[in-house]
Structure 1
Amino acid sequence: MSGDTYSLDKQQLMQRTFDQMESERRETDFSARQKIALTCRILFDNGHDSGLAGQITARGDAPGTFLTQQLGLGFDEISAHNLLLVDEDLQVLQGSGMPNPANRFHAWVYRARPDVSCIIHTHAVHTAALSMLEVPLEISHMDNCVLYDEVAFLPKWPGVPVGNEEGELIAGALGSKRALLLAHHGLLVACTSIEESCLLALAFERAARMQLLASAAGAIQPIEPALGREAHDWILRAQRSASAFAYYARRSLKHHPDCLLE
Structure 2
Amino acid sequence: MGATFDDSKADLMQRAEQRLAENFTETRWTTRQKLALTCRALFDRGHDSGLAGQITARAEAPGTYYTQRLGLGFDEITDDNLLVVDEDLAVIEGEGMANPANRFHSWIYRARPDVRCIVHTHPFHVAALSMLETPLIVSHMDTTPLYDDCAFLPIWPGVPVGNEEGEIISAALGQKKAILLAHHGQIVVGTSVEEACSLAVLIERAAALQLAAMAAGTIKELPKQLARQAHDWTLLPRRSAANFAYYARRALAGHPDAITQ
Q: Describe the superposition over 1:195-222 as per-residue Cα deviations: whole angstroms up to 9, x where unpaired.
A: 1000000000000000000000000000
Shift in Å, 1:26? 3.4
Residue type of the partner of 2:21? E
* 3-state SS of 1:82 partner: coil
* 3-state SS of 1:203 partner: helix
Residue type of the partner of 1:61? E
Q: Describe the superposition over 1:96-152 as per-residue Cα deviations: whole angstroms up to 9, x where unpaired.
A: 000000000000000100000000000001000000000000000000001111100
Q: Describe the superposition over 1:11-57 as per-residue Cα deviations: whole angstroms up to 9, x where unpaired.
A: 11111111111111233211100000000000000010101000011
Shift in Å, 1:255? 1.2
Structure 2 gaps, min length 5: none
Residue type of the partner of 2:105? H
Equivalents in 2 of 1:118, 1:172: separation in Å? 17
Q: Describe the superposition over 1:59-94 as per-residue Cα deviations: whole angstroms up to 9, x where unpaired.
A: 111111000000000000000010000000100000
Residue type of the partner of 1:44? F
Equivalents in 1 of 2:252, 2:59: separation in Å? 24
Structure 1 gaps, min length 5: none
Shift in Å, 1:4? 2.5
* 3-state SS of 1:176 partner: coil
Q: Any residues of structure 2 matched to 1:1-262 within 5 Å, and which?
A: 3-262=2-261
Shift in Å, 1:234? 1.5
Equivalents in 1 of 2:79, 2:3: separation in Å? 48
Equivalents in 2 of 1:164, 1:51: separation in Å? 24
Residue type of the partner of 2:226? L
Equivalents in 1 of 2:252, 2:67: separation in Å? 20
Equivalents in 1 of 2:24, 2:65: separation in Å? 28
Paired residues, what number?
A: 261
Equivalents in 2 of 1:248, 1:96: separation in Å? 28
Equivalents in 2 of 1:80, 1:19: separation in Å? 32
Give the ranges of 4+ consecutive aligned residues of structure 1 lying more than 2 Å apart after TM superposition. none
**Superposition RMSD in Å:** 0.8
* 3-state SS of 1:254 partner: helix
Instruction: Using structure 2 for the length normalisation, give the TM-score.
Output: 0.99
Equivalents in 2 of 1:257, 1:42: separation in Å? 12
Identify the range of structure 1 (24-33 vs 175-184) with the bigger mean alpha-carbon deviation: 24-33
Equivalents in 1 of 2:53, 2:218: separation in Å? 31
Shift in Å, 1:6? 1.2
Equivalents in 1 of 2:227, 2:178: separation in Å? 16
* 3-state SS of 2:11 partner: helix
Identify the range of structure 1 (7-16 vs 77-86) with the bigger mean alpha-carbon deviation: 7-16
Shift in Å, 1:3? 2.5
Equivalents in 2 of 1:32, 1:210: separation in Å? 31
Instruction: Using structure 1 for the length normalisation, give the TM-score.
Output: 0.98
Residue type of the partner of 1:104? R
Equivalents in 1 of 2:238, 2:92: separation in Å? 33
